[in-house]
Amino acid sequence: MMAACTTLEPMVKAAAEEIAAQDFDSIVASHRPQIFRFLLASTRDVDLAETLTQDCFLKAHRNWSGFRGESSALTWLMRIAINLQKDHWRNRRLQFWRHARTNSVDLDEASDWLPSGERTVEQQLLAKEKVAQVWRAVENLSERQRSVFLLRYVEELELKEIAETTGMGEGTVKAHLSRALARVRKEFGNNREQD
């Protein structure tokens, strides 16, 4: 009887690992676009966003067995992505040099991704300029304000989900979002007055 248990044990473990791998594959398939979109909006660098997305899922895969399900898989993955993004910017600041944005997202390319009901070339150019103004305003936000702003308006997360993802209280999220909106509106208004 003991021999049967030891023979079945590796088979059960292999089956469990296969199920876990299939579960993780489905998590990657369903959440990869959201993680990439958030990181792209945060970094505005396609190559960096792709690298951080891969790092996010690599880290998640390594820790998949430790995922307790206390939050949704997306919330857990967003938390990993935010931490990787913070680590990246922290490491960049410590190196005392800035990488030229040769691989950054082109405004023409970004405006192609955004749906536009505009019809004339002039209206399309105006829409592109508005997108550029908003991005400039978002770049000037603090790290926390930018993260909350992007999670709310790019990823369309609810305030409670943002709080879970960032580890902030819901009231803190509301405060950062309010300040971010005020700054974006102010800078957007200032840019419009200068035009």
Q: How high is the pLDDT of residue 21?
A: 60
Q: How confident is the model at residue 12 (pLDDT cuts 50, 70, 90)?
A: very low
> How far is residue 109's CA from residue 22's CA, in Å, rounded to a whole number?
35
> How far is residue 74's CA from residue 42's CA, in Å, rounded to a whole number?
17
Is the alpha carbon torsion for 38, 42, 43, 48 positive or negative?
A: negative
- Please state at what angle helix 46-62 crosses helix 73-94, rounded to 10 degrees: 120
* Spatial contact of 133 and 194, defined as CB atoms under 8 Å apart: no
The size of the chain, in residues, is: 195
- Please state at what angle helix 121-139 crosses helix 143-153, rounded to 10 degrees: 140
> How far is residue 141's CA from residue 132's CA, in Å, rounded to a whole number?
15
Partners of 45 in beta bridges: 104
Q: Model confidence over 80-129: pLDDT tens digits? A: 999 998 888 777 655 533 333 344 455 555 555 555 554 677 777 777 78
* Whether the model pTM is above 0.85: no
| pLDDT > 80? residue 25 | yes
| pLDDT > 80? residue 162 | yes
| pLDDT > 50? residue 79 | yes
How large a percentage of the chain has pLDDT more than 90? 27
Average pLDDT estimate for 7-18: 52
Cβ neighbours of residue 143 under 8 Å, at least 6 residues apart?
86, 89
**Which of 14, 12, 93, 24 lies closest to 56 in space, CA to CA?**
24
Average pLDDT estimate for 161-174: 91
Task: Give the residue, 36 or 12, on which the prediction is more confident.
Answer: 36
Q: How high is the pLDDT of residue 132?
A: 79
| pLDDT > 70? residue 53 | yes
Q: The tokens of 95 are what?
A: 């190196």
Q: How high is the pLDDT of residue 17?
A: 54
> How far is residue 151's CA from residue 43's CA, in Å, rounded to a whole number?
13
> How far is residue 81's CA from residue 151's CA, in Å, rounded to a whole number?
11
| pLDDT > 90? residue 136 | no
> How far is residue 141's CA from residue 180's CA, in Å, rounded to a whole number?
7
Amino acid found at 158? E
